[in-house]
Chain A
């Protein structure tokens, strides 16, 4: 731990110092995310199964609407694989953003009584939710084996994809966490935004089938790039590189903005929470 410090009312925001401090307190990050996971799954009867049941319900719904009622072109990929690959990224994102909102408010007992970098709270939420992501990925792996899909070097691309997904999801989570402290309305805005997001992200459909004049709209959605990248890694589905760059660029810039906003708010959290 840093042994000495100066608290100055006029201190400037220093993102690097905040990151260094979070790294020093990595044991706390780990314990907090483990606590969430433990508490969540020891209290329920079905335990870990819930991490499968939730996405399974979305999966069945999407399959029915997009692949039974409306037969969407998947570029030759079996519909169930296609949908699961889109859903794993989306589900993780939605979970992180949904839970981050009240994360600081929920931890106010801690926040008002002891110091640690406040950023640790939304970060540990994003880390804890990785468990759910891995469970869905495991499910995806089983499906890949069942459908005898070839696994090759492209599959390794999943690793940077997951890192990027983690970065963007926690970036949005941090935004929402900071905004919810100030404006409790975000507690209601976020679920609505997520519901919209679920349908404008290419989860059950392919970005390529969107009419050209509306494609740029898909580019505004940071999840488009990630889902397309997941599909490229798994099935080599071709993607539109300008849309991909635009989408990922927006995601990264927005995430850094969230980080900045959060750190600038950090000083006042205990006073207004």
Chain B
């Protein structure tokens, strides 16, 4: 049976100016729209998709691809600009855990509140209450206001309610990213088991590993369009290769930044000892990472730069932060190039991703997730001509011998 059918769904937003605000803004919006054609962009374009009952779908794509928008359309939080979506069966969306939790209320009250927000009836919660409490392991805190809960307890309570939803279709958006892993797996196992005849689940996550483990099918969204649908392994492979090609080291066109924008990270590149650009790095090589800044300010103060190196599964391998190594850079001009010298590049061969963030005067100026993708080739780290036979990982200098 078909659980979800999406027919030619579009979602269009107006860029920049929004309709909200006060009367004056509304007036100027209307005035502008008379003279200029407003700039619109499509968060989703011509989406057609059928999902069968019982399928577990992984939805993947870069930031801003429209993944969350698609989930919001399916759960009726926002409406399509054009097109039709049909949902057969009850649907619960977990776009955030612990939605509607109120800090002043007790654990007990919040279980009821969260439950009814998710569409359970009070009777239904009465019936499941003991099971929810037992699942969370928070029996002793039921009458404590949850503002006194630790964040771990908070998430446990939230997941416990969520795990007891018995809707036919479930939408999960990055909720697997919070809380302790053990408890999440327990919740997820519970979610999968409660409906015997096959519950349909759609999961959005950047943790490709998680998707690979849980899903049967994958849907790859890019710039509001479906790029590929198929077996999860194939879609992940396609995504990883496809996405890599597009992320060049020039960052000036990137829009998905966070921060006040006072300084922007314009480019990242690897160079060798002499300052020559190199596209790929070998393990053990002497390299410099250069960060080109761009700012309208002539002088910048107290710069903190931080590079996080992860693999494509989201596992973190290294951090390069001047705060711990050298301290803040007290002043630099607005167009400086920051340089990180690494005498022996410590990563084993593989594909890696870099997140970059920059603070100026303790204020977040720029943050780009997935700013730069690079490949490390096998290299002569140990000066023995031999390379370790594993991919991904950190190399360090060591020596083996017999204790004298």
Contacts and interface: CB of A to CB of B under 8 A. Distances in A.
Interface of A: 1, 3-9, 25, 27-28, 30-32, 35, 38-39, 42-43, 109-116, 181-185, 267-268, 270-273
B231 interface: no
B105 A38 contact: yes
Contacts of B109: 35, 38
Given A39-B105, A185-B23, 17 more contacts: A6-B85, A6-B87, A7-B80, A7-B87, A25-B119, A31-B113, A39-B104, A109-B99, A110-B117, A113-B93, A113-B99, A114-B95, A114-B99, A183-B21, A267-B79, A272-B20, A273-B20
Interface stretch (B69-77, B186-194, B292-300, B311-319): B69-77
Interface residues of B, number: 47
A9 B78 CA distance: 10
A113 B76 contact: no
Given A4-B88, A6-B86, A114-B118, A271 B78 contact: yes
Nearest to B100: A110
Contacts of A28: 116-117, 119
Interface residues of chain B: helix, strand, loop or mixed (majority): loop
Contacts of A267: 78-79
Given A31-B116, A183-B23, A273-B20, A7 B99 contact: no
Interface of B: 10, 13, 18-23, 26, 72-90, 93, 95-96, 99-100, 102, 104-105, 109, 112-113, 116-122, 168
Given A3-B89, A184-B21, A113 B105 contact: no
Contact of A110 (B26, B78, B99): B99
B78 A183 contact: no
Nearest to A114: B99
B86 A4 contact: yes
Contact of B84 (A6, A35, A42, A109): A6
B99 A9 contact: no
A8 to B, nearest CB: 5
Contacts of B112: 31
Contacts of B72: 270
A184 B104 CA distance: 28
Nearest to B88: A4
Contacts of A3: 88-90, 168
Looking at A28, A109, A181, the one whose CB has the most chain B CB atoms below 10 A away is: A28
B84 A7 contact: yes
Looking at B78, B81, B89, the one whose CB has the most chain A CB atoms below 10 A away is: B78
Nearest to A2: B90
Contacts of B116: 25, 27-28, 31
A173 to B, nearest CB: 20
A46 to B, nearest CB: 16
A270 B77 CA distance: 6
A271 B95 contact: no
Contacts of A184: 20-22
A114 B77 contact: yes
A109 B90 CA distance: 22
